[in-house]
């Protein structure tokens, strides 16, 4: 942010940018979330086994009927508790949108 403003002739310190983020970050994130398209009422959940840097991981993701990604999680193990927690958080996150 400091560099972007410097290109426009505005010079601010990193501390000022941190203060702005602390003050306005939550509001900006909420505005972005509100402007995103609402998820459709049908979702697909899937999982895959992947390798990252030679280590094995499980990847879970959820998409809606339009193919928009709702959430992604990568973990080192596959278990029922994790899958249930992933789905319950997903429902809690989007329950007001559906």
- 47 and 31, same domain (yes or no): no
- 31 and 47, same domain (yes or no): no
pLDDT of residue 51: 93
pLDDT per residue of the chain (98 residues) written in tens, 0 to 9: 778 778 888 888 888 888 988 899 889 888 887 887 777 778 888 889 999 999 999 998 888 888 888 888 898 888 888 888 888 888 888 776 54
Task: Count structural domains, the chain.
Answer: 2
Own/partner long-range contacts of 12-21 (Cβ < 8 Å, ≥24 apart): none
Q: Per the confidence metrics, is the pTM higher than 0.85?
A: no
How far, in Å, CA of 84 to CA of 91, rounded?
11
Residue 40 is given by DSSP the state P
Any idea which residue has 């895959």 for tokens? 48
- 27 and 49, same domain (yes or no): no
pLDDT of residue 54: 93
CB burial of 47-84 (b: ≥16 within 10 Å; e: otherwise) equals: eeeeeeeeeeebebbbbbeeeeebbebeeeeeeeeebe
How far, in Å, CA of 81 to CA of 13, rounded?
45
pLDDT of residue 98: 46
Domain with 13, as residue range(s), is 2-35
- 90 and 69, same domain (yes or no): yes
- 49 and 79, same domain (yes or no): yes
- 52 and 84, same domain (yes or no): yes
């Amino acid at each position: 942010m400091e560099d972007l403003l410097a290109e426009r002739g505005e010079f601010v310190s990193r501390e000022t940018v941190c203060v702005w983020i602390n003050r306005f970050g939550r509001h900006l994130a909420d505005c972005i979330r509100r402007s995103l398209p609402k998820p459709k009422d049908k979702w697909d959940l899937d999982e895959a086994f992947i390798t990252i840097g030679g280590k094995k991981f499980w990847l879970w993701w959820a998409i809606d009927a339009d193919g928009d990604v709702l959430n992604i999680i990568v973990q080192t193990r596959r278990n029922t508790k994790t899958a249930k927690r992933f789905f319950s958080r997903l429902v809690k996150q989007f329950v007001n949108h559906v």
